[in-house]
Structure 1
Amino acid sequence: MGEKIDVLEHAGEILPAVNRGVLLTSAANGKANTMTISWGMLGVEWARPVFVTFVREGRFTRTLLDETGEFTIGIPGEGFDRKILGRAGSVTGRDIDKIAELGLHTVKSQVVSVPAIAEAAITLECRVVYRQPQDRSALPAGILDRFYPQDVPGTNCDANRDMHIAYYGEVVAAYTM
């Protein structure tokens, strides 16, 4: 592992990376999984640094997150193969070892039980302090129609208004790899 960083001092680097795609890794019962996310927030809540991620109800990652309440965020650096992000976000790890299939490697995290992705330039280790399903009735129709379409095949990750759950993770460790 590399050098410890202040996550808030690196927000200007982390948040643009989230918009381009980062890896969310979760694990439970000896099975680790990673997926691409491009929605997330970094800030301070309850006097602690938090990273908020949004995971659809039907995702395998949600099952693992709910079991352990921990996750890591892997921020890709220069030279990271962007095709990995495309594949990690479009294939489920429910029935395959997606991390191995993508040619990625895990390393033991410093604080949480969930592994980090060795190829990430920056790692955030997070422990869930709050979990909130999105309220479909509170979203404007335009957002529902664009991000939660009603009639799409059930194999799609966004099938039939599969809503997100917001996971507020206290950042308990942050470092370069």
Structure 2
Amino acid sequence: MEKRHIDPYEYASAITKANARGILLTTKAEGEVDTMVIGWGLIGTLWGKPTFTAFVRTSRHTHALLEKNPQFTINVPLDRLSKRIFAVAGTKSGRHVDKAELLGLTLANGSKVDVPAIAEAPITLECKVVYGQMMDRDAVPKATRERFYPADVTDVDASGSCYYHEIYYGEIVDSYVLE
């Protein structure tokens, strides 16, 4: 599998449009690979470096892996994610199932990070976390809290509140399309 290197900014529009439909964020720690569907993310510049900012709920297995290895890949399909990939990577936990194996995903070793790219979503951003920050619950507008962090969900932390997101700012250290 060849990697055709790209300028991530030239693909920013395509990445942003795909993100609204769902893209994959992949992590790897202690030999375990996990991928999940994300719909929130930003491509831009921070501290003079190209970055992808990802939002990961602290309850997710992906979050635990990112805490062990602060590297990730963003994997963007050329079209929409297949319904099967979306269904499994968007609903199953990596704590209980190896999603890459279950889906038969084709993994390609990262070039500058120890996290694979996914051939089925070939536009790849390799990222190293340069900063992480927990969302401030009190700073989230009430209407947003009610919509995205409802009180009646089962995914709650020890205080009984819905899990919020940690924001990971990842420097894009390599970017390419798998061909």
Q: CA distance change for structure 1 residues 81 and 130 in 2, over 3 Å: closer, same or farther?
A: same
CA contact 1:35–1:88 (8 Å) conserved in 2: yes
Q: Tell me which amino acid in the other structure corresponds to 2:6.
A: I
Report SS of the residue matched to 1:99: helix
Unaligned residue ranges in structure 2 (runs of 5+): none
1:79 Cα offset (Å):
7.0
Deviates more, 1:104-113 or 1:48-57: 104-113
- Answering whether residue 78 of structure 2 is matched by residue 90 of structure 1, we say no
Q: Tell me which amino acid in the other structure corresponds to 2:104.
A: G
CA–CA distance in structure 2, aligned partners of residues 102 and 33 of structure 1: 12
Q: CA distance change for structure 1 residues 117 and 140 in 2, over 3 Å: closer, same or farther?
A: same
- Answering whether residue 12 of structure 2 is matched by residue 2 of structure 1, we say no
Q: Tell me which amino acid in the other structure corresponds to 1:95.
A: H
Q: Tell me which amino acid in the other structure corresponds to 1:138.
A: A
CA contact 1:34–1:98 (8 Å) conserved in 2: yes
CA contact 1:104–1:118 (8 Å) conserved in 2: yes
Corresponding residue for residue 115 of structure 1: 116
Matches within 5 A, 1:1-177: 1-78=2-79, 80-154=81-155, 160-177=161-178
Q: How many residues of Structure 1 are paired with residues of Structure 2 in the alignment? A: 174
Q: Tell me which amino acid in the other structure corresponds to 2:100.
A: I
CA contact 1:151–1:160 (8 Å) conserved in 2: no
Alpha-carbon displacement from aligned partner over 1:85-142 (angstroms, at most 9, x marks no partner): 1321111011211111122121101110011112222010000000000000111111
Q: CA distance change for structure 1 residues 12 and 79 in 2, over 3 Å: closer, same or farther?
A: closer
Q: TM-score, normalised by structure 2?
A: 0.92
Q: TM-score, normalised by structure 1?
A: 0.93
CA–CA distance in structure 1, aligned partners of residues 56 and 44 of structure 2: 18
CA–CA distance in structure 2, aligned partners of residues 146 and 164 of structure 1: 14
1:167 Cα offset (Å):
0.2
CA RMSD across the alignment: 1.5
Unaligned residue ranges in structure 1 (runs of 5+): none
CA–CA distance in structure 2, aligned partners of residues 19 and 105 of structure 1: 23
CA–CA distance in structure 2, aligned partners of residues 84 and 134 of structure 1: 28
CA–CA distance in structure 2, aligned partners of residues 80 and 41 of structure 1: 19
1:56 Cα offset (Å):
0.1
